[in-house]
């Protein structure tokens, strides 16, 4: 039994934040499943690296070009094939865990993040095209994404709500999930087969706040001791606060009737958990966020690092009083968490949109190169 299996026994699932066709077909992903990994996530940046910088897709790409497909259709066909392969590889885990795990996530076009109706339509289209029960459609937790989450859940589709940074937005995400389940019940449908996760982005919060703290230190507006006390702590504190909200909300009076009708809890998922600051532990955002009913989606490097020197023990409920104190201290020096997390949401949408545009641009270049021999 590996440490990943031990984490699972504590109630935490580890999903791989990576996808590549050769990686799956050559058995490398299966080797990680044997270590205890129970799912896979993807995003436009990951697909860009996979498709553009690998020749595993060239044969299918040539076929699609010969069929006269445009760039967006080619992208969609390549991605959907990868997702199908991954879903089929994960299906035994999905069946063994009765639908709790064994998922692969596919993101709607990030250019639609501010368009509710288009997001809903794309989510339904992707769900139908992949046609696998262990698919999760990723929908960003933007203001416009919230009604899309509700409608897609009501349609009976599994949803990975992504790009969550703030506690306020997380509360709205939970409400959107409840409303979707209630709407589905009102329409006479069952809800026991619907699963969802709420992806809280972790490391980006520390990166952003640490930069502000270092700037204040450089200008003399913050003492070295205060800087040291505050740096690298906001992300874990924010996630632990979110976990408390999760624990309270999914034992609330609103959720209980849904639970009796077969509803599944919407698990918190810790995303963007690779450590960006080399002075911090390389497993900081895995080690400090271990708790039941959670998912941590990590890179292969982070997973191997945890297998090497991670400690398996519950940590998500630790130092909760210190989290509140930290946010008060940040507020005192002028760092507004609501403002910071709103900016991170916008930056996240823009980053994924830019990655998507770059992917399409580079895919077009690769298509041209293949056509020219």
Residues recognised as catalytic: 138
Angle formed at CA 43 by CA 63 and CA 307, multiple of 5 degrees: 115
Supply 133's token pair: 């029960």
Measured CA to CA, the distance from residue 351 to residue 303 in angstroms comes to: 24
Asked whether 139 and 160 are in contact (CB, 8 A), the reply is yes
Residue 199: Cβ within 10 Å count? 25
Asked whether 266 and 175 are in contact (CB, 8 A), the reply is no
Asked whether 102 and 94 are in contact (CB, 8 A), the reply is yes
Residue 191: Cβ within 10 Å count? 19
| Residue whose C-alpha is closest to residue 169's, from 350, 340, 356 | 340
Residue 220 is classified by DSSP as T
In the chain, what is the straight-line distance between the N-terminal and C-terminal CA atoms, in Å? 49
| 162 backbone dihedrals φ, ψ, rounded to 5° | -115, 170
Angle formed at CA 286 by CA 53 and CA 34, multiple of 5 degrees: 65
Alpha helices (H) in the chain, listed in sequence order: 3-9, 21-25, 28-34, 44-52, 58-66, 71-96, 116-130, 145-154, 167-186, 203-218, 224-230, 234-249, 255-260, 284-287, 300-309, 320-332, 337-371
H or E, element range at 200? strand 196-201
Residue 142 is classified by DSSP as S
| Residue whose C-alpha is closest to residue 196's, from 259, 252, 247, 263 | 263
Asked whether 120 and 148 are in contact (CB, 8 A), the reply is yes
Asked whether 231 and 210 are in contact (CB, 8 A), the reply is yes
Supply 367's token pair: 């298509």
């Amino acid at each position: 039994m590996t440490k990943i299996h031990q984490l699972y026994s504590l109630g935490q699932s580890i999903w791989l934040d990576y996808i590549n066709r050769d990686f799956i077909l050559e058995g490398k992903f299966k080797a990680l499943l044997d270590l205890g990994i129970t799912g896979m996530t993807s995003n436009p940046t990951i697909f860009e690296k996979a498709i553009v910088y690998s020749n595993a897709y060239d044969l299918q790409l040539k076929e699609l070009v010969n069929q006269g497909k445009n760039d967006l259709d080619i992208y969609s066909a390549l991605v959907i094939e990868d997702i199908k392969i991954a879903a089929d590889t994960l299906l035994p885990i999905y069946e063994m865990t009765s639908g709790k795990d064994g998922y692969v996530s596919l993101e709607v076009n990030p250019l639609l993040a501010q368009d509710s109706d288009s997001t809903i339509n794309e989510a339904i289209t992707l769900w139908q095209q992949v046609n696998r029960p262990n698919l999760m459609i990723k929908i960003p937790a933007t203001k416009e994404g919230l009604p899309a989450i509700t409608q897609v859940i009501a349609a009976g589709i599994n949803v990975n709500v992504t790009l969550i940074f703030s506690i306020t937005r997380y509360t709205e995400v939970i409400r959107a999930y409840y409303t979707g389940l209630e709407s589905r019940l009102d329409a006479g449908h069952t809800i026991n087969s619907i699963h969802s996760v709420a992806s809280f982005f972790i490391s980006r919060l520390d990166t952003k706040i640490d930069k502000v703290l270092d700037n204040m230190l450089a200008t003399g507006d913050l003492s070295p001791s205060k800087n040291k006390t505050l740096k690298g702590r906001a992300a874990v504190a924010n996630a632990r606060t979110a976990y408390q909200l999760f624990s309270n909300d999914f034992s609330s009076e609103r959720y209980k009737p849904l639970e009796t009708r077969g509803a599944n809890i919407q698990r918190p998922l810790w995303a963007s958990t690779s450590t960006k600051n080399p002075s911090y532990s390389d497993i900081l955002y895995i080690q400090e966020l271990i708790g039941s009913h959670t998912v941590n989606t990590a890179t292969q490097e982070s997973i191997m690092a945890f297998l090497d020197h991670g400690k398996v023990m519950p940590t998500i409920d630790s130092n909760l009083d210190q989290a509140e104190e930290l946010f008060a201290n940040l507020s005192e020096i002028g760092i507004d968490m609501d403002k910071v997390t709103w900016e991170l949401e916008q930056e996240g949408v823009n980053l994924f949109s830019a990655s998507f545009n770059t992917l399409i641009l580079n895919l077009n270049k690769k298509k041209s190169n293949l056509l020219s021999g």
